[in-house]
Amino acid sequence: MAGSATGTGNIFEFNGHYYEFIDSSTLWHDARDYAASQTYNGITGSLIRIDSAAENAFILEYSKNHITNDQWIYLGATDEVTEGEWVWEQGSEHFWTGDYAGSATNNQYTNFQPNHFTNDNHPDVHHYLTMWVDGDRPNDPYPIYDGDWTHSRNTGDGDGFAYVIEYAPPSLPATHVSPVYEFDGHYYQVVRTQTEWVKNSLTAGTQQEALDAAASMTYNGIQGHLVTITSEEENAFLQSILTTVDGYVNSDGFQVVHPDATLTMTVSGFYDGGDSAYYTAGSERESEGTFKWLAGPEEGRHLLI
Concatenate the DSSP letters of all residues of 17-78 into one string: EEEEEEEEEE-HHHHHHHHHT-EETTEEEEE----SHHHHHHHHHHHHHH--S-SEEEEEEE
Helix (H, G, I), strand (E, B) or coil at 218: strand
Query: Bigger pLDDT: 226 or 138?
Result: 226
141 burial via Cβ count (<10 Å: 0-12, 13-18, 19+): exposed
Return the minimum-mean-pLDDT range out of 196-200, 224-228, 242-246. Answer: 196-200
**Mean pLDDT value of segment 156-183:** 80
Taking the alpha carbons at both ends of the chain, their separation in whole angstroms is 48
Q: Over the chain, what is the mean pLDDT?
A: 80
Options 3.10.100.10, 1.10.579.10, 3.90.1150.10, 3.20.20.70; CATH for 7-167 is: 3.10.100.10
pLDDT digits (tens, 9 = 90+) for 112-143: 877 655 555 455 556 899 999 988 888 888 88
295 burial via Cβ count (<10 Å: 0-12, 13-18, 19+): buried
Quick one: pLDDT at residue 272? 41
Is the pLDDT score of 164 beyond 70?
A: yes
**Mean pLDDT value of segment 103-114:** 84
Quick one: pLDDT at residue 257? 75
Is the pLDDT score of 302 beyond 70?
A: yes
Q: Transcribe 151-200 into DSSP letters.
A: EE-TTBTTTBEEEEEEEPPPP--GGGBPPPEEETTEEE--B---SS--TT
Is the pLDDT score of 227 beyond 70?
A: yes
**Mean pLDDT value of segment 96-116:** 80
Is the pLDDT score of 231 beyond 60?
A: yes
Amino acid identity for residue 166 in this structure: E
Quick one: pLDDT at residue 273? 44
Contacts of 113 (CB under 8 A, 6+ apart): 100, 132, 144, 145, 148, 149, 150
pLDDT digits (tens, 9 = 90+) for 49-76: 998 999 999 999 999 988 887 788 999 9
d(CA 64, CA 134) in angstroms, rounded, equals 7
**Mean pLDDT value of segment 203-221:** 80
Is the pLDDT score of 299 beyond 80?
A: yes
Quick one: pLDDT at residue 7? 41
d(CA 18, CA 11) in angstroms, rounded, equals 6
Q: What percent of the chain has pLDDT over 90?
A: 33
Quick one: pLDDT at residue 9? 63
Is the pLDDT score of 91 beyond 90?
A: no
pTM, two decimal places: 0.58
Query: Bigger pLDDT: 87 or 123?
Result: 87
Is the pLDDT score of 266 beyond 60?
A: no
| Domain coordinates in residue numbering, the chain | 7-167, 173-305
Per the CB < 8 A criterion, the answer to whether 88 and 104 are in contact is: no
d(CA 74, CA 72) in angstroms, rounded, equals 7
Query: Bigger pLDDT: 259 or 192?
Result: 192
**Mean pLDDT value of segment 18-36:** 93
